Amino acid sequence: MAEGAAMTDMPSAHPPHAPSLRAEKPVSIRIHHPDQPLPNLKSTSSSITQNVVYILAWYFFSTSLSLYNKNLMGKDRFNLHFPLMLSAMHTGLHAVLTTLMMLFGKEHWRGSTSQGISLYNYVFKVVPCGIAAALEICFANASLIYITLTFYTMVKSSTPIFVLVFSFLFGLERPKSKLILIISVMVIGVILTVRGETQFDLFGFVLVGLATVISGLRWTMTQILLQADRLGMNNPVATLFYLSPVMFVTMLILSLSLEDVFTQIRTSEHFATLQLSLETIGLMWIGGLLAFAMTLAEFYLIKNTNTVTLSVAGVSKEIVVIALSVMIYGDELTGVNLLGLVVSISGILAYNYYKFSKSSRGHYRSLSRGSQKVLDV
């Protein structure tokens, strides 16, 4: 009792009229994630400007390359009937250009690759990515012989579906109900697009379909190569330097096996005289330069953002390509075509919103004092 009395007589730590603190709910404190740099308005603005430049460059070169490929390989156009050899020439040019850039660019291009890449990483990571890239480009270019540029563009717009699927398989994304729903929407869009095609060619559709699936694999693997510093290939030029020889060899083997190039050259009107031969070869090299510039823009955009940003940025580019195809080539667009395109674009934009809302919250963690647990937001 004496102890109780003594405690009762002790002066209160608070003023007599101070309001009592109520702790009915846990207090949440938001702290900056330790692995994320503090936001800097100047650097953010510069980064946005840089990415806009990459997107615009990619728009220009990608659209130009689509029109170039259709004009060069379309049956009713120039009708150059060996797309695999053409693709091999392009990647051969890329190998030469990147080799020169790596030799004379000093540390600007070489970066962390100055020590070279290990044989294991080259065989099991670079070579599969290069083969996938080669197959995707070959199938895509070959499909333009049989289908319209509009149909090609609409089917290729489904690439984000397979980017997501391979992201699940490689552990870059976790399967969630929202993502499954988004994929389902895009699949419905592709089905509507195919059903509405008035000049449907099954072989051309199979080719562009394979190109689309492999494209998802290609860009998922490319993102891993670009964003993994330990592989020593975080520089887009260095990545292309390692990938191009693999792509060139793959395309050359496919061309010599399937196209009978030398017979076609002997019988082609485009190689009837020396002057025509030089003009044709010049046209083929122009495409290589366009593809090189477009690929660099793609790589830098993926390096600074991700593959889905590239896919979403491609939505407006695809609309431009379709509009140009209708105006230049007279491609037909049905109501079902347009509905399929709108549904696909809606799915892509929904995924973009999902990623944006997730990343805008992911820079912070919520620390709950009530449970003393750190929770990822």
**How far is it between the farthest Cα atoms of the chain?**
119
Contact between 348 and 315 (Cβ < 8 Å): yes
Range of the domain at 114: 54-361
Distance CA 301, CA 315 (A): 15
Number of structural domains (the chain) is 1
Q: What's residue 253's pLDDT?
A: 95
Q: What's residue 76's pLDDT?
A: 72
The reply to whether 372 falls in a domain is: no
The reply to whether 10 falls in a domain is: no
The reply to whether 168 falls in a domain is: yes
Q: Which residues of the chain have pLDDT under 70?
A: 1-44, 106-116, 226-236, 305-312, 359-377
* Nearest in space to 308 (alpha carbons), one of 181, 172, 193: 172
The reply to whether 128 falls in a domain is: yes
The reply to whether 36 falls in a domain is: no
**Model confidence pLDDT, tens digit, residues 146-164:** 998 889 988 888 888 898 8
Q: What's residue 209's pLDDT?
A: 94
Contact between 250 and 131 (Cβ < 8 Å): yes
The reply to whether 21 falls in a domain is: no
Contact between 211 and 155 (Cβ < 8 Å): no
The reply to whether 3 falls in a domain is: no
Q: Which amino acid is at 121?
A: N
Q: What are the DSSP calls for 132-189, one per residue?
A: HHHHHHHHHHHHTTTS-HHHHHHHHTTHHHHHHHHHHHTTSS---HHHHHHHHHHHHH
* Nearest in space to 186 (alpha carbons), one of 155, 147, 230: 155
Q: What are the DSSP calls for 40-96, one per residue?
A: -HHHHHHHHHHHHHHHHHHHHHHHHHHHHHHHHH-TTTT----HHHHHHHHHHHHHH
Q: What's residue 159's pLDDT?
A: 84
Distance CA 57, CA 108 (A): 21
The reply to whether 92 falls in a domain is: yes
